[in-house]
A and B are shown apart, each in its own frame.
Chain A
Amino acid sequence: MTDTASSRSVVVEREMPHPPAKIWRALTEGPLIEEWLMSNDFLPVVGHRFTFRATPVPGWSGVIECEVKAVEPPERLIYSWGTLGVGTVVTWTLTPTEGGTHLRMEQSGFGPDQEPNYKGATYGWKKFIGNLERVVGGME
């Protein structure tokens, strides 16, 4: 692990033979979202708080607490994604291509130490993960 805390993220991108408007619907209409992601009470409204619900497993309720951060149809959708005390941000970007759409999902991790549950925390995740890398780096 050589990357820094700030650069920690998961990126998945794919070319899809569908127009952006159609993909946008699948990303923003609750019943459609449920078909490919999870049951939800999503609304495409900035500031709307919603949850994704997965099947609970031991040690995890399966609940993901989210808030809509940006809705720019049919180009960009951002929501926060918080579970197990870890706040991340999921950003969807749709770029039209000749044959359809380039869809990109980036989940940037561990960032928001400003999440309410960590207000005033001395040891935010970002700092912790930075330190963790050193700990793990020294493990080998």
Chain B
Amino acid sequence: MQAAADHVFRALADPTRRAIFEELSRQGEQTVHALTRHAGVSQPAVSKHLTVLKRAKLVRHRREGRETHYRAQPDALSPMVDWLDHYGAFWRERFDRLENLLERMDS
């Protein structure tokens, strides 16, 4: 699997992070405060999740006064969208290896 896809998958493996990402995709830019109200977990927890999402380039932030605003970056999902293609290629290659093994096996 491609490293970029792994990163995105990891970031989105957590249900709270998925919820945050979805919320940002749906509602557009939001502050950490607003996200905390929606997420039902503490603000430090939300900030921690946002850091992981940021590292995977799934969100971007900008500071305005004392507030940090976050925005979803849906383009970052494209490696994940390609995921099935990766697995398709993976299995086709393994089928080749399986056939090769079968040739070498006695019945």
Contacts and interface: CB of A to CB of B under 8 A. Distances in A.
Interface of A: 1, 8-10, 12, 14, 16, 18-19, 21-23, 25-26, 32, 35-37, 57-60, 84-86, 103, 105, 107, 109, 118, 121-124, 128, 131-132, 135-136, 138-139
A57 B3 contact: yes
Q: DSSP class of B's interface residues: helix, strand, loop or mixed?
A: helix
Given A109-B83, A109-B84, 19 more contacts: A9-B84, A16-B102, A19-B107, A22-B105, A23-B98, A32-B101, A32-B105, A35-B101, A36-B97, A60-B6, A86-B9, A121-B15, A122-B15, A128-B22, A131-B25, A132-B77, A132-B80, A135-B25, A136-B74
B100 A36 contact: yes
Contact of A85 (B10, B78, B91): B10
* Chain A interface main SS type: mixed
Contacts, number: 99
Interface of B: 1, 3, 6-7, 9-10, 12-16, 18-19, 22, 25, 74-75, 77-78, 80-81, 83-84, 87-88, 91-92, 94-95, 97-102, 105, 107
A103 B99 CA distance: 11
A128 B12 contact: yes
27 contacts: A1-B81, A19-B107, A21-B107, A22-B105, A22-B107, A23-B102, A26-B98, A26-B101, A26-B105, A32-B105, A36-B98, A37-B97, A37-B98, A57-B3, A58-B3, A59-B3, A59-B6, A86-B9, A107-B91, A109-B84, A109-B87, A122-B19, A128-B18, A135-B25, A135-B77, A139-B74, A139-B75
A36 B101 contact: yes
B15 A124 contact: yes
A139 B74 CA distance: 8
A109 B91 CA distance: 14
Given A60-B1, A123-B15, A37 B94 contact: yes
A105 to B, nearest CB: 6
B99 A16 contact: yes
B81 A85 contact: no
B3 A10 contact: no
Given A22-B102, A136-B77, A131 B9 contact: no
A8 to B, nearest CB: 7
A22 B106 CA distance: 8
